[in-house]
Structure 1
């Protein structure tokens, strides 16, 4: 396992590379009679992240590790019902997986509450330091390592948005209020936008069937641009968004 937590964009190639780097030596060092069990805990539905699982499998195959032979992936998905995550995390622990992979704050919280001994590899979780999951990016401590969220400053992102939409004045920030990292990100967007003379208004969605109402509210508020704060719910609903 790596001691330093890297910060980068959550894009599939980088995600796969990070997971392979974190797990490759672990698989290689496993005893011949032991098949490592990799737990994957997600808040969304399997169709939303299946392409990432397949990319991970392919990345491992390219390095000589075959799913079902050299390692086994145990998938637990909450299907958008985030109250199920603690039970699913506990089930992975009972299944004696050797490592748990998570890609959002809610699954990370559930995994962290379920175990302080099984390594947890995060992939793209936003601000794990600010939300209290790790001590620092350089020295995360505990049993958490992996890939944090984007390090690009929101001020720069806002500049890029303004270049695309020069007349923007009302920024809609779509976020899940049940995700601590998302709540922090919304506040950051409001501060950055206010400094630029732009109104940033949060629109909350905490369940898969809540997007229609949120977008209707955006239309009524005359929002001219939209920022989506990523989490498991937003990722699994990206086609709908």
Structure 2
């Protein structure tokens, strides 16, 4: 289907005079879920605000790898061959695939927790080469504090993650450090594909006092399975991304991912206007919202303290 659309676009292009300011931005994500979709839409928002609009002077390509790393690599090679002005990979697996596929096309990664650990760049301040981007490194210490505030009796945190995702492995190390400071232990349960998420969540029942889901694309893409287990077992489930709260997680303290996308898009615009990506520092996304879900709290047997209710930026009823 996409090849047909590209052929049609090429036919139309032959009948129209090219404009010097026409640009192509290619975006890819490892999987589709609300947070990553919001990043994509935020990138498009920033481009539009800078005057780059689809159908006028912007071709905006988008491909999802549907959770498959081999597909991510195929998309990366495809985009590299098409030669867009900028490639924007969303998530660590997609970023690793794109960075491995081109040394010439500017790359602006986003929604990557640990760019150094993922070997996307060797220096955050001076990345060099053709790569820069935006990190969404979670404020893990604040997450642990929030868990203790909402569930003060908790002694252990169940960490639900894909052990094959580099960002989740990096976050696990941070979580263990912060949990130890707070007198908590961490219990791991891994799912390497979306079909395993519910079973991995069930494996935490009786072993952990709460479940914590990081910005892990495999788990978040199948979050409803974990939430069903949490509700059935009265096991409070926290997420690192705020978009998951409306899907049934108890609470999250983190980024508005549409804003993360806009911040990413602003970097893309700088490159389109002539800056070298290697001269643009990699930075952690700005902003942090507290979102809570009262209905989920009732299902999981939790009562929010007044301090949390007062601080919440958004309350899902």
The interval holding the TM-score normalised by the smaller chain is 0.7 to 0.9
Native 8 Å contact 2:26 2:79 kept in 1: yes
**Counterpart residue number, 1:128:** 115
**Which residue does 1:109 correspond to in 2?**
96
Retained in 1: the 8 A contact 2:39–2:90? no
CA distance in 1, matches of 2:61, 2:182: 46
* Alpha-carbon contact 2:92-2:111 (below 8 Å) kept: no
Partner of 2:185: 199
Q: 1:233 aligns with which of 191, 202, 218?
A: 218
- Aligned residue in 2 for 1:80: 67
SS at match of 1:218: coil
- State TM-score, norm by structure 2: 0.60
Tell me the TM-score normalised to structure 1 length: 0.77
Structure 2 distance, partners of 1:196, 1:107, is: 34
Matched, 1:157 2:136: no
Separation in structure 2 between the aligned mates of residue 229 and residue 50 of structure 1, nearest angstrom:
17
8 A contact 2:36–2:90 mirrored in 1: no
C-alpha separation in 1, matches of 2:142 and 2:29: 30
Maintained 8 Å contact 2:28/2:62: yes
Q: Partners of 2:57 and 2:171 in 1: how far apart?
A: 39
> d(CA) in 2 for partners of 1:41 and 1:130?
21
State the partner residue of 2:164: 178
**The 10-residue stretch of structure 1 (211-220 or 143-152) with the greater mean CA deviation from structure 2:** 143-152
Give the 5 Å matches for 1:1-241.
32-33=19-20, 35-45=22-32, 49-150=36-137, 152=139, 154-221=140-207, 223-238=208-223, 240-241=225-226
For residue 57 of structure 1, report the CA deviation from its aligned partner: 2.9
Structure 2, unpaired ranges of 5+: 1-17, 227-317
Q: Give the 3 Å change call, closer, same or farther, for CA 58–159 of structure 1 in structure 2.
A: closer
Distance in 2 of aligned mates of 1:140 and 1:168: 41
Distance 1:97 1:240 in 2: 38
Superposed CA deviations along residues 178-224 of structure 1, whole A, max 9, x for unmatched, are 11221121122123223332110111122111111011111142x22
Contact 1:190 1:201 in 2 (8 A): no
For the aligned residue pairs, the C-alpha RMSD in angstroms reads 2.3
Name the CA distance, whole Å, in 1 between partners of 2:106 and 2:50.
Answer: 21
Deviation of 1:123 (Å): 1.5
